[in-house]
Amino acid sequence: MDKLIDYYWTSPEFKKYSDNGTPVENQFDMLMKMALSKEVYPVIGEKFINPLLAPEDCTFHIMDLDDYLTIKAIRLGHIAKEIRRREGELLKLEKVIPGVLAQYDAPTFPALDGLVRQSCELCGSSFISQENLVMHYLRKHGGISRPALSSGGEVH
């Protein structure tokens, strides 16, 4: 799916629609139709958006732009969490083998530096997007209706 989307956003067709002012949401819908025509099925289940949904109530639909951006935000959160976990492993290794960190250039991710952190007021965990915070509330705190936001805490 990502390859298809990357192809589309860099194609002359996208430029044509972009230049004539077609809203991005409409372009994304056209992209989903193109995916279906190529036997790529960009579906999402409601249970992905709301994990507390009973299986019998779960429906599926063709992804829209909001669904796609939610998936990307969740994925970015998982990538950031993996980076922090690996960094922690290296810091532990440094205690056992002094100087090991000096042998490696740690990557930097400037695109992540400016992100506003959304924090859970119940447990202090922090997230890079509102969507990740909402998913956390649904999964960890039983679906509290309106999460309150603050800053600080561990980023997920």
Beta carbons within 8 Å of 41's beta carbon, 6+ residues apart: 35
Local structure of 155: helix, strand or coil: strand
Q: What is the chain's pLDDT, residue by residue, as a tens digit (156 residues)?
A: 778 778 887 888 778 888 898 888 888 888 888 888 888 888 888 777 777 778 888 888 888 888 888 888 778 878 878 887 887 888 888 889 888 777 776 666 655 555 556 777 787 777 666 666 777 777 777 754 444 434 444 444
Residue 23 domain-assigned?
Answer: yes
pLDDT at 117: 63
Residue 22 domain-assigned?
Answer: yes
Which range of residues forms the domain containing residue 68? Answer: 2-107
Residue 45 domain-assigned?
Answer: yes
Closest CA to 142 of 75, 59, 51: 51
Task: Tell me how many degrees the CA angle 149-58-37 measures, rounded to the nearest 5.
Answer: 100
Report the alpha-carbon distance of residue 119 to residue 63 in Å, rounded. Answer: 27
Count of domains forming the chain: 1
For residue 63, report the phi and psi dihedrals to the nearest 5 degrees: -60, 140
